[in-house]
Chains A and B, each alone.
Chain A
Amino acid sequence: MCMRFKLPNVTEMNDWIAIGALALVGVLIPLGMMAVSYLLRPSVPETSKRATYESGEIPTGDTRVRFNIQYYMVALLFLIFDIETVLLFPWAVVYLDAVESDAVSLLEILGPMVLFVTILLVGLAWAWRKGAVQWAQTPRQVETEHNRP
């Protein structure tokens, strides 16, 4: 199935050929190297070669490890503040120029960002109160903590 892209003229076509050729070369070089090494190398089958880390650690357990859910909580909180920074940065860059300009009032400059940060702070406060930033709080642990004299 190929899409019908109406192409206006032939010169653009040449660009596409170049890209195609580049892609082709990009695929052929590694494949060629692998093929050459396959032909040249000696073949000595041995069980230790099948280990994950042939010359290092001896792996234990499954490859699928359950991470503590708290990692995700931290990652999520981090992500939120990360995005906050991303938005704050350009705002901070234009802030001084905006203050000097007469076109916009201070409220209009400051207001949205304050609102944005407020929302995030409400979220953070809630998460804090809910114990999202406390480490390793499984229900059982919480229970024992409560029972501590």
Chain B
Amino acid sequence: MALLELPAWTTLAPALLLALTALVLFIIDSISPDAQNSGLLAGTTAAGSLASLGVAVWYLLAGVGTPTVDGGRGIIDVLGDQFVVDQLALFFMIIVAVVTALVAVASYDYMEDHTYQAEYYSLVLLAATGMSFMAAANSLVTIFIALELASLPSYALVSILKDNRGSVEGGLKYFLIGALSSAIFVYGISLVYGATGHLQLENIAAVIEAGEADPYGGLLGLGILMLIGGFAFKTASVPFHFWAPEAYEGAPAPISAFLSSASKAAGFVIAFRVFTEAFPVAETASAIGVDWTLAFIILAIVTMTLGNFAAATQNNVKRMLAYSSIGHAGYALIGLAGISAGGGELVMGAAMMHLFVYGFMNTGAFLFVALAEYWGVGRTFEDYNGLGRRAPVACFALAIFMFSLAGIPPLGGFWSKYFLFTGALEAGLIVVAAALVINSALSLYYYSRLVKAVWIEEPVTERDGLSQPVGLYAAIVVAAVMTLALLPLFGPVADTAVDAATAMLA
């Protein structure tokens, strides 16, 4: 392999390919602005994201980003340390690319008769570019720019159904809360810069380790807390979650899948990177007087509890999934809550595994909602009654997604949750572990409710045969197969995740 001969910037190829595909889409649309060639557009998008996925997987397998001591090619710095390509970055680039590909394929049917298709696909790709860059960003400036690059297209995507009140309302709320959160985030960046004099993550850590930030402990602490606010917005964690239910509900279902899976994962990757690279636990605690993990412990418990409890009595399926998505953000937050001075690889790795599995099962679940919207069967649990007889394949896949989300063994969702649980116990977070168990138990209630509606309940009204859109079906089946395939594949995924976490915490 001639990787080493390539310039360092090529390691950002997964993100650059997404950007390039977006430009290609613009060119296609410029050539024939009035043609609605949805097959070409969706195909190009899927091809681009699959190329990004392929390159990222290839890099990971080839050892790009793996520390040289572990037999890899070393962590690669790009553009004067503004970006870094390591296992963590590649892992999340893979998640983003996979979700983008699934969403693109599913959108082929969902957006079939839509006016702004080229815009839609290019916005998806630009947002994915931002998320991919978020995975690799290594300085607060690039993080912020990548975050905005991911956010701005997302606002537009949520409200792309211009004639749908819910879509426009959700988009506006998303934008307003996003603006507020971005303001808080960028203010946090300025405070951290004020306290340490640096924006690049390693340099911030060096200053804190040298004790030079100690005089500005409160300032630094406030800055860190504001950064947490920014991440909480991106990951839809309490109290920055308010946009999520309405945005997910109003957005086109593929976009809900995209936001709740890829965007959430991207939010987590910057949180992982910033808090492990820039704010080493022990030194930061001595500077600001408190462990920042405390904030994540509180956020994790509150987020998973609020998400699951609010989801329990929803009547609208998409809204239930939106709240469940908030609950899962709470689970993944355990990965940050469990980090400690000497450890936390396992729990952080577990959070990464969970986000990986979640990328399939949650995307699949939202895509099923997309399918239901495509059929026009309705939005509530009752409307879904008896779909199992009409569309057994898709409903079987739905059952897989639901049980995996609930964490039923032996599905993928069980294993990641199990690792989170053991990781939390290992870190001594008994309350968090207990909250995880209680919330999982509660979540089984509303997940199985949907399965029951689809398979057991009698349909309220007689409906004719349902069509079988190729793209949506393909995406759902692939997501279901991957959720199942993670049984045998879980070993490698877990190893990669824990390796990446170990490298970050080393």
Contact = CB atoms under 8 A, between A and B. Distances in A.
**A and B, direct touch (CB closer than 8 Å):** yes
Nearest to B27: A122
B23 interface: yes
Interface string B201-215: 000000000000011
Interface in B175-231: 214-219, 222
B26 interface: yes
Contacts of B33: 129-131
A49 interface: no
B216 A5 contact: yes
B291 to A, nearest CB: 18
Nearest to B214: A6
A3 B218 contact: yes
Chain A CB within 10 Å, residue with most, of B26, B29, B214, B216 = B26
Contacts of A3: 218-219, 222
A29 B504 CA distance: 56
B467 interface: no
Contact of B219 (A5, A8, A130, A131): A5
Contacts of B218: 3-5
Nearest to B216: A5
Contacts of B461: none
Contacts of B30: 122, 125-126, 128-130
A15 B31 CA distance: 63
Given A126-B29, A129-B30, A119 B23 contact: yes
Interface in A45-100: none
Contacts of B27: 122, 125-126
A20 interface: no
B216 A126 contact: no
A79 B30 CA distance: 21
Contact of B217 (A4, A125, A126): A4
Nearest to A128: B30
Interface in A86-130: 119, 122-123, 125-126, 128-130
A5 B26 contact: no
Interface string B6-38: 000000000000000001001101110100000
Interface string A20-41: 0000000000000000000000
Given A125-B26, A126-B26, A131-B33, 15 more contacts: A3-B218, A3-B222, A6-B214, A6-B215, A122-B23, A122-B26, A122-B27, A123-B26, A125-B27, A125-B30, A126-B30, A129-B29, A129-B31, A129-B33, A130-B33
13 contacts: A5-B215, A5-B218, A5-B219, A6-B214, A122-B23, A125-B26, A126-B26, A126-B27, A126-B29, A129-B33, A130-B29, A130-B33, A131-B33
Interface of A: 3-6, 8, 119, 122-123, 125-126, 128-131
The 10 closest A-B pairs by CB, nearest first: A129-B30, A126-B26, A3-B218, A6-B215, A126-B30, A129-B33, A4-B218, A125-B30, A122-B26, A130-B33
